[in-house]
Structure 1
């Protein structure tokens, strides 16, 4: 009796919904200083291959989506500038609690492709009395107590300037 051997090959096709070849995201300015009650903007440049679809960009503050942060979600507006490939987060009527570490993140569906970070902070000012007197070359002590973790640097501005 002869044995019959049948060889069958299967061709399997795999389809990938979206495959990004390269996506880069870069904050235009990584440190933003804002003033209370004024608007401030955070901007990220998103570059990708012209053959790829536009990636979705989401903004987060301290690990939480800006759309989910109480007190911020009603004042945070995200805009996509398709001509310049920019994602722009505008925070209206800035408050002290808007300070933090923001991230602009490019996604393909729910898969993170790339991110960059921006630190937003309100500059602290220390006011001294106008009639403060001190002797040149003697020590002057000014105390600054921020209400949150902060990087502090001092800038002297003479009363006659600005």
Structure 2
């Protein structure tokens, strides 16, 4: 019986421990004390307060894009940490404050729990992803399309060849010519995974529509299309050759016309003599004979 009670006690302790671990969490509250699911919108030049609550015991730290807010130069003088850093207050908010902010609980140097919220401005809430609507590139050159995002989004790319009329295909394709690379967003201080679409040497088959699709954790989806036009690398040569041909033809016409005109004038000068001019020497001889007589 003693062992039986001991086993039950062990199961009870394990159950309590597991229950605590299952329900231990970090919650971020807004200024009204309401939990923030994932996203909060703010107004520029206003203030904002975030509060971190956790079932775990440890030191609270606030990060933006993986970097401590205390080490960000753009936030210097515009934020305040209160109540053992559980409260983060923003002052004189700017557009550059958009980004992902994480409340983390640390114990003995280890991050044991965390929660991330995305801050957006009132205007940035109108879009999630953004690319240039039109991209023009010369055949053989490098094509780069950058997909900007707002919020914590997972990116995917689709492509459709508008000439052939094929359906949309996922990028990168099997040929491996199209590559997706990450880039660092200087404004929001975050890495954007797969945000750059790169083709080293484009050809005519690469023209079409490229769609950047961003999907959030709560199921919201954003997309924007960039239409790519490929120019023939000899496109600038054809007009030049056409102009040269026109100049050559014009010069040839002028040369032929002038040659014919000079020939006609020469012939007219040889045949155009009046009868008076031809008899003038005979009258002179007759006059001289009369004087001699």
2:180 to 73, 77, 83: 77
Correspondent of 1:36 among 135, 139, 155: 139
Unaligned stretches of 5+ residues in structure 1: 1-18, 49-53, 136-162
Partner residue, 2:156: 58
Q: Please state how far the C-alpha of 1:66 moved relative to its aligned partner.
A: 1.4
Report deviation, 1:112: 5.9
* SS of aligned partner of 2:245: coil
Moved over 6 A (4+): none
Q: Distance in 2 between matches of 1:132 and 1:25?
A: 49
Gaps of 5+ in 2: 1-36, 40-124, 161-167, 251-293
After superposition, the Cα gap between the structure-2 partners of 1:20 and 1:106, relative to the gap in structure 1 and judged at 3 Å, is farther
Match in the other structure for 2:130: 26
**More RCO (CA 8 Å, sep 6+):** 1
Contact kept in structure 2, 1:77 and 1:91, CA below 8 Å: no
Q: Which structure: greater helix fraction?
A: 2
Q: How many residues align?
A: 110
Shift in alpha-carbon separation, 1:114–1:39, aligned structure 2, 3 A: same
TM-score by length of 2: 0.33
CA change 1:60–1:112 in 2 (3 A) is farther
The Cα shift of 1:41 comes to 0.7
In 1, the alpha carbon distance for the partners of 2:157 and 2:202 equals: 17
Q: Write out aligned runs for 1:81-100 (5 A).
A: 81-84=184-187, 87-100=195-208
